[in-house]
Structure 1
Amino acid sequence: MTLADEFRTRNFSIYGQWTGIICMVLCFALGIANIFNFNIIILFSVICLVSSFIILFIEVPLLLRICPTSSTFDNFIRRFATNWTRAAIYFLMSLIQWLSLATGFTTSLIAAAVLLLFASAFYALAALKHQEFMSSKTLGGQGVAQMIV
């Protein structure tokens, strides 16, 4: 199944997964860009950087087999195997970035908050429509991990 075929399935979890990949890149870039502020925004940019790595392991399951990680971390990441749990973690990450507005400083971290909210909405729509969680084969989803091992 090609990437175009996956998008044609109209499964919102695929849309959520690819939005999550964009979130990962954006969180990494904005986390680095805002870490040079010498105020409380440093805390939110570090959280944004950590979020990018969490998203990377959530959305690319093949990395759990390749990278040497602890069993505690693996169990934490495996909790996010359903649409509801992924919607919840993305919403939590978005909420944290929205809270950066409460500091009185408006930064580009708001872009990460908006995109994380979109990813959460896609996963929530998939769950509400009772769509089965579907992982993209391009990102190491069903079948790819077994082919490598």
Structure 2
Amino acid sequence: MPSMQGIKEEFATRNFSIYAQWLGILSMILCFALGISNIVTSLLDPFNLILAIFSLCFSFVILFIEVPFLLRICPTSTSFDNFIRKITTNFMRAASYIIMAVVLWLAIITKSGLIAAAVFLTFTALCYLIAALKGQSFVGSKTLGGQGVAQMIV
């Protein structure tokens, strides 16, 4: 269990990549939960079903982006590992999150429940973008396996 003092210290650094990483974890949880609920509720609406499946896929991609230690311990393909390893800078992370957000913003068309996930993905992208524009280097959260553990993967 992460200590609240450690998390508090991370947020006190005012590095937007830390904020974005935690928002990314919240986005992952929302994408997973809302993806499951929309699959169940939209079996008769093919467009909604496709968006729900995208949401589920995004949740797993986010998990590997934000917790890079998992690339070491989970059996994944080499091409997937290489794809995830390319998303290391704040600009690349912002771009990947904005792409995921744009896809889920299409949920407005069908009034599905994926809009909350799109909002959090957008906030995450904005935090990574602010970090990149401020010249802040990516700092992985110690609680999520950063600071030393993440360097073992590269």
TM class by shorter chain equals over 0.9
| Aligned mate of 2:115, from 106, 110, 114 | 110
Pair 1:87–1:146, CA change in 2 (3 A): closer
Pair 1:145–1:16, CA change in 2 (3 A): closer
Query: Does residue 1:138 correspond to 2:138, yes or no?
Result: no
RMSD between superposed Cα atoms in Å: 1.5
| Aligned mate of 1:124, from 116, 121, 129 | 129
Instruction: Confirm or deny: 8 A CA contact 2:107 2:113 kept in the other structure.
Output: no
Q: Deviations over 1:21-57 (max 9, x none)?
A: 0000000000000012011200000000000000000
* Structure 1 residue runs without a partner (length 5+): none
Counting matched residue pairs gives: 145
Question: TM-score, normalised to structure 1's length?
Answer: 0.93
Q: Deviations over 1:72-120 (max 9, x none)?
A: 1100001110000000010000000111223xx2121000110100000
CA distance in 1, matches of 2:8, 2:68: 20
Query: Does residue 1:16 correspond to 2:20, yes or no?
Result: yes
Q: Percent identity over the alignment?
A: 57
Instruction: Confirm or deny: 8 A CA contact 2:140 2:150 kept in the other structure.
Output: no
The 4+ residue runs of structure 1 with deviation greater than 2 A are 144-147
Question: TM-score, normalised to structure 2's length?
Answer: 0.90
